[in-house]
Amino acid sequence: MKSVLKFFIAAAVFAGIAVSDTTSVSVYVIGDSTVQTYKDNVYPQTGWGQVLGYFFDASKVKVLNYAIGGRSSRTFIEEGRLDEVKGKLQKGDYLFVQFGHNDRDYSKAARYVEPSQFSGYIQKYVDAGKAKGANVVLVSPMNLNGSRNVFSTGSNNYDARGMMQTVAKNNKIPFADLNMKSYNTYNTTYKSMPDYVTRYLYKKLEKGEYPNFPDGVNDGTTHFQEMGSMGHAQMICEELEDNLKSNTNLSADAKAALTTLVASIKKRYTIKVKTNLSNYNGLITQTQYFPAGSPMTLRVTPNGQTFEKWVDDDCKELSKNMIYYGFKTKARDITYTAMFKGGAACTPISHNSEDVGGSSSSGPESSSSSGGEEVVKDLEEDLCSLHAGTDAWPSVIETFEPEIADGFSEANHDGFTGKGFFNLDNSAYSKATYLVTSDQSAEHARVMIRYAFAGSTNRDMKITVDNGVYDVAFPPTGSWDKWDTVYIDDVWVDALDFKVILQSTTADGGPNVDMIAFDMKDVYRTGCKSARQKQGSVSIASKKIISAPRKNNFTVNALGRKVQNVNDRADLRKLPKGYYFRY
């Protein structure tokens, strides 16, 4: 069996566009000192390119940070640094570009770039990426001094943000507006606490706070602490997601590539921080949204109160007499409390268990066929889980065993997910029908279908979802072992039971169909209903994997057909975002 499916996806318009699954890709980051990676001896100073990798599934995306301080869009090129990155870029990789801070500094002629030339230099990065088949994302420089647009103020009126946005529009590529995103965060979310931004996000450290700066340091409003750059990386992820939802200027290729990248962003968890005082008026870490395993720092600056310790939501003591406490983010929403002398006693806060990815239900149901043989319920317990799916595709429909179909449930090709795939008969009239339930409604849902087939001509199908019928193109994938994906946009889904029907339209029949996924939550095979309802009262830790009954080394599906046996000792292979399948 091949390695676990690399759950890469691509965008499509109404008929869908097939894009090959690939191995992991690289994100190359280019920028200045606000982006670069720093050594441990200057911690907590950190660039956002240094921490961006925490936000992506490492099995799918590798972040390589080539940013370096003191460079402008011009000098980075003149020093041969763009050529170095270009030499490493591979087709399908990503190139993130942020410049502007040093470009606008007319006091330093060595790196200054005339406003009339800035767009031309940014275009060189776009051209370099395109020449290698890479996908370019332009990132506007983050806000440094609290102005709404730092680059359109001052005597030189240097609008780097606006010029980068124009280049992005002209090339129909994503534009992550970190400038406006950070401005809104600093001046809206943290408006009432300006000291929080300078003391907890920018690199302004008091004497004795950090070992690397025993005498403290005031770096003004230029460089950032780790928590500041973690926040910027989170903002960039949000901007990528927003581009996918609302940037109508993207080309089809750019949208496809961005869809793939966004699907690789890890789930973020809510980290709340509070005190046990009703009238606390000092600084304290604000709520964050970070992926599991990423760095997180709890920090408090008392204003006359006596700080005692940090505790988690189980009232477990984490650290005594330390105004900051660093750790790795847990895989669940969590609350931390700064305990002060004279404050309320700690009270445990109820919470979920840590996500372990695709937890199973209490086991599949089975029944007897008319011939007395045991048959396996056509649904895997993993797929009935409330946690099945990914952030981008939270609802996954196993297609291995339809309720009614013309064709065979098989597992004789590599690379499939779940128990196997469904092979539609070679006929223009072959169908596969799945009974599906949705607990939610949506006017503009998106559906993904994963499939494979060899040949030289399309095997197009009509896809029925709820009450809508969609003509979807299925181009050849080149091999029965090579899986691609197509998409249907603007699908109307009602909160009820409905059918998903795959109907062939060519004499060759349909492709082998591996799975269907929705970009909305709580859509599942109807047979999962009871299993999902039970999960609300069963903790993750108590769930067990229960092997389905076997008969004569074969599983008998609901259609009475024998299909290839799956090992009794099922192997759980982890897919991105906590998506588990049994092989």
CATH number of the domain encompassing residue 307:
2.60.40
Please state the domain count of the chain: 3
pLDDT of residue 578 exceeding 60: no
pLDDT of residue 3 exceeding 80: no
- Token digits of residue 225: 């602490």
pLDDT of residue 547 exceeding 50: no
pLDDT of 389-438, one tens digit each? 788 888 999 898 898 888 888 889 888 888 889 999 888 889 999 999 88
| Whether 259 and 274 share a structural domain | no
DSSP collapsed to 3 states, 57-98: CCCCEEEEECCCCCCCHHHHHHCCHHHHHHHHCCCCCEEEEC
Decide if 352 is inside a domain: no
Buried-exposed string 83-99: b where 16+ CB fall within 10 A, e elsewhere: eebbeebeebbbbbbbb
Stretch 119-145: mean pLDDT: 94
Q: Which of 283, 312, 340 is the last residue of a domain?
A: 340
Decide if 7 is inside a domain: no
pLDDT of 503-516, one tens digit each? 999 999 999 999 99
pLDDT of 328-341, one tens digit each? 999 999 999 999 99
Q: Which of 316, 340, 364 is the last residue of a domain?
A: 340
CATH number of the domain encompassing residue 503:
2.60.120.260
pLDDT of 470-507, one tens digit each? 999 999 999 999 999 999 999 988 777 889 999 999 99
The pLDDT, as a whole number, for residue 143 is: 78
| Whether 135 and 175 share a structural domain | yes
Secondary structure element (H or E) that encloses residue 240, with its range: helix 226-246
Q: Which of 215, 246, 265 is the last residue of a domain?
A: 265
Of 461, 464, 447, nearest in space to 517 by CA? 447
| Whether 56 and 197 share a structural domain | yes
Decide if 546 is inside a domain: yes
| Whether 480 and 575 share a structural domain | yes
| Whether 493 and 465 share a structural domain | yes
Of 180, 184, 135, nearest in space to 161 by CA? 180
Decide if 287 is inside a domain: yes
Stretch 464-473: mean pLDDT: 89
The pLDDT, as a whole number, for residue 377 is: 33
The pLDDT, as a whole number, for residue 419 is: 85
The pLDDT, as a whole number, for residue 383 is: 65
Q: How far apart are CA 426 and CA 303, in angstroms?
A: 75
CB 428 within 8 A of CB 526: no
- Token digits of residue 531: 């299993």
pLDDT-based confidence at residue 381 (cuts at 50, 70, 90):
low
pLDDT of 225-240, one tens digit each? 999 999 999 999 999 9
Stretch 1-27: mean pLDDT: 39
Share above pLDDT 90 across residues of the chain, in percent, rounded to a whole number: 54
| Whether 332 and 233 share a structural domain | no
Return the bridge partners of 94, or none: 27, 135
| Whether 259 and 285 share a structural domain | no
User: How many residues does this entry show for the chain?
Assistant: 583
Structural domain of 281: 269-340
pLDDT of 73-114, one tens digit each? 999 999 999 999 999 999 999 999 999 999 998 888 889 999
Q: How far apart are CA 23 and CA 90, in angstroms?
A: 12
The pLDDT, as a whole number, for residue 188 is: 80
Decide if 329 is inside a domain: yes
Residue 354's Cβ-count burial label (10 Å; 0-12, 13-18, 19+) is: middle
Stretch 562-581: mean pLDDT: 29
The whole-chain average pLDDT of the chain stands at 80
| Whether 329 and 393 share a structural domain | no
Q: How far apart are CA 485 and CA 479, in angstroms?
A: 14
Q: Where are the beta strands (DSSP E) in 306-430?
A: 307-311, 317-320, 324-328, 334-340, 366-368, 374-376, 395-398, 404-405, 407-410, 421-424
